[in-house]
Amino acid sequence: GVDLLVRRGEIFGLLGPNGAGKTTTIRMILGLIRPTKGSVKIFGIPVEDRREEVLKVTGYMPQRFSLYEDLTVEENLLLYGRLYGLGRREVKRRVREMLEEFMLEEFKYRLAGKLSGGTKQRLALAVALIHNPRLLVVDEPTAGVDPPIRRYFWDYFRRLRKEGITILLTTHYMDEAEHCDRLALMNRGKIVAEGSPVEIKRFAFKGEIVEVIVNGEGVSEALNELSEVKEVLEDSKDGAFIRLRLLVEDASQDLLRITKVLERRGFKVYRASQVFVSLEDAFIKLTTG
């Protein structure tokens, strides 16, 4: 099942492959579908009972472009501003701000359906923020867009976070998820891990990984002397060299002790360094064992 606590003013990511249940979870959070069990609260407001109140503090950018393609950019912004309850004077002011903020001024009279993919995404984000929400929910915001647009979005998300806005997003890009403050890894409708990117990697591998390259015989006996080594993940020979990948608790502290013991036992240590695993490595480890 899904049990989430998203903190105010953080970027929280739901990470997982297509079909993992990310979009369904988002739709439950927004009250678009009812959870089979449990409840959802946003800023303490129960979603099922007070959905209209929730919508006033929440902005939503769905994965698929869902604005009115037969309306202009400006008309879409005006329409959604009014739907979110902004007054006439306020909505006009916010539309001007959004057109400038998202570099949409030159497109304001263009039909939304005639925009490029990246410009559509900028318009969708502008609409989601037209009413100054406290929570921004974005579903795969950078799927299918060029790298410059992806960078633009992430720079903007970080700016919103500085302003105290909470961001909940879904993504299947493992490298992109590294930018989140905290994550929930999803697989087949369940959360398999939750925490910061660093915490999730440590949880997946039960510690940190170091690589040591030495030469000499009897390295296995030397490793037995090291309580710091929780597990030998790899012990391979390449000519005169032996490559070791070791699981330890704290790489920065344990590498020094490992190196000293091996050198004292007569081994020449050619390299001793931490192996920085990726979120993809962690995800594969957690979902395949």
DSSP string, 137-203: EEESTTTT--HHHHHHHHHHHHHHHHTT-EEEEEE--HHHHTTSSEEEEEETTEEEEEE-HHHHHHH
The 8 Å CB, 24+ separation contacts for 216-222 are 216/242, 216/266, 216/267, 216/268, 218/265, 219/244, 219/262, 219/267, 222/261, 222/262, 222/265, 222/267
| Domains defined for the chain, CATH in brackets | 11-196 (3.40.50.300), 202-288 (3.30.70.980)
Distances (CA, A) of 192 to 3, 157, 261: 11, 25, 37
Both tokens assigned to 101: 């903020």
Between CA 229 and CA 223 the distance in angstroms is: 7
Contact 281, 209 (CB under 8 A): no
pLDDT in the model for residue 1: 62
Question: Which residues does the chain have with pLDDT short of 70?
Answer: 1, 289
Between CA 110 and CA 116 the distance in angstroms is: 11
pLDDT in the model for residue 36: 84
pLDDT in the model for residue 180: 97
Strands 166-171 and 135-139: parallel
In 3-state terms the chain splits into helix, strand, coil percentages (rounded to 5) of: 40, 25, 35
